[in-house]
Amino acid sequence: MRRGPALAGLFFLLGCTLAFAQGDAKRGEYLSKAGGCVGCHTDTRKDAEPYAGGRALKTPFGSFYGPNITPHPQAGIGRWTYNDFVRAMREGRRPDGENYFPAFPYPSFTRISDADLRDLWAYLRSLKPSARSSRPHELGILYRWRVSLYPWKWLFFDSGPFRPEPGKSAAVNRGAYLVQALGHCGECHTPRNLLGAPKKDRYLAGAKLGESTNAANLTPTKLKKYGDGELKDILTSGLYPDGDVMGETMGEVVRNTTSQLAPQDLDALIAYLRSLRPLPDEPK
Ligand code: HEC
Ligand code: HEC
């Protein structure tokens, strides 16, 4: 009997199963870029440790600080199980059952596929543990209570992975996934109602983010003025065709995310934006 090949086959299968169960950290690294995780979870100081937290996120409700998500057992999420991670990303809940604030874009991340969550988790586990403590958020008195997030979630949050739309091409569906789930583009580019929830029928129609910061309308109404090549250049260089430098908010998204996408993913993202129903700009 030839035991060699049979055994090799068995180990190969075992290896595949383990890799599948454990996730692929290398793929996870790419998905982390597509999700812009490093930006919100890394301090802006030059010598800051990646993913060790400390980045301030200013909102009308106060300042949130991206927490340490390295595998440090006390300072980070080293004691978490994979299920804790899935609950955070898919349901916006902490291991103790409390709600996360949607400054953590889980209303988008809930759309991430099971396979991609597994790979992201494998990547986070592979990071160097950092002992830097997460900084508490500084929120207005009315917004401090995580309990107040229950009605918000009940009204506005629907959880569950992305479902491809039948009848749309594979590229458009891939682009939709990158934009809606990982890229969370709608968190800035979709206008919000008074309770801070995105207006669904105005998806990606553009939104005012601050005094002088406007996230552009990403539907064809605005983007049709660019060719595909121009749009690709904008999203990889952070420069507009006339040479103007993009504002810093989107500049960071370009640096951390869109310029890091594989060429076929960037093409897919653009194909999806082209497929959107043209919507008028949000009234000023
Ligand atoms: C726009 C900013 C932003 C982005 C992008 C972002 N996060 Fe976060 N994340 C936060 C904030 C803020 C919190 C804390 C929320 C809270 O305390 O309610 C958080 C919390 C978390 C937590 C829970 C940590 C804990 O200690 O409870 C995990 C895990 C996490 N993020 C993973 C990720 C991953 C993975 C990605 C990329 C796919 C990502 N985040 C992208 C802002 C962000
Ligand atoms: C943190 C907020 C934020 C996120 C997330 C974000 N954007 Fe933006 N985006 C902006 C802002 C602000 C501008 C306006 C930039 C300027 O003023 O130069 C912008 C501009 C753009 C433009 C230029 C449009 C034009 O003609 O002016 C494109 C294209 C774009 N974003 C695509 C995306 C895509 C695709 C994603 C998701 C991968 C994304 N953005 C995620 C804030 C954001």
As a whole number, mean pLDDT of residues 71-94 equals 98
Instruction: Choose the residue to mutate in 109, 189, 273 for probing ligand 2, maximizing ligand atoms within 8 Å of C-beta.
Output: 189
Model confidence pLDDT, tens digit, residues 127-154: 999 999 999 999 987 787 888 788 888 8
Taking the C-alpha atoms of residue 177 and residue 112, their distance in angstroms, rounded to an integer, is 8
**Distance between CA atoms of residues 128 and 200, nearest Å:** 39
Q: 283: pLDDT confidence band, cut at 50, 70 and 90?
A: confident
Does this chain's domain 25-131 share its CATH topology with 162-284? Answer: yes
Task: Assess whether the C-beta atom of 234 lies below 6 angstroms from ligand 2.
Answer: yes
**Residue 231 CB: number of other CB atoms within 10 A?**
18
Angle among Cα 185, 189, 195 to the nearest 5 degrees reads 110
Q: Residue 263 Cα, ligand 2 centroid: separation in angstroms?
A: 19
User: 181 CB under 6 A from ligand 1?
Assistant: no
The alpha carbon of 190 and the centre of ligand 1 are apart by a number of angstroms equal to: 20
CB–CB of 89/78 below 8 Å?
no
pTM for this model (two decimals): 0.93
Q: Is the CB–ligand 1 distance for residue 270 below 6 Å?
A: no
Q: How many angstroms is it from 80 CA to the middle of ligand 2?
A: 33
Residue from 32, 112, 188 to probe ligand 2 pocket by mutation (most atoms less than 8 Å from CB): 188
Q: What is the whole-number distance in angstroms between the Cα of residue 88 and the centre of ligand 1?
A: 8
Q: Of the ligands numbered here, which is closest to the C-alpha atom of 224?
A: 2
Ligand 1 mutation pick, 31, 41, 112, 178, max ligand atoms within 8 A of CB: 41
User: Over 60: is that where the pLDDT of 119 sits?
Assistant: yes
Half-sphere exposure of 67 (CA within 13 A, CB side): 17
Give Cα separations from 68 to 107, 128, 129, 202, 269 (angstroms). Answer: 20, 11, 9, 34, 30
CATH fold label, 162-284:
Cytochrome Bc1 Complex; Chain D, domain 2 (1.10.760)
Extents of the domains making up the chain: 25-131, 162-284
Q: Which CATH class is domain 25-131?
A: mainly alpha
Query: What pLDDT is attached to residue 284?
Result: 72
Q: Where does residue 224 rank: exposed (0-12), middle (13-18), buried (19+ CB within 10 A)?
A: exposed
pLDDT class of 194 with cuts at 50, 70, 90: confident
What is the mean predicted confidence (pLDDT) over 66-89? 98
Q: Residue with the nearest Cα to atom 39 of ligand 1?
A: 37
Query: Ligand 1 pocket, 122 CB below 6 A?
Result: no
Q: Which among 69, 128, 63, 121 has a CA at the least distance from the CA of 90?
A: 121
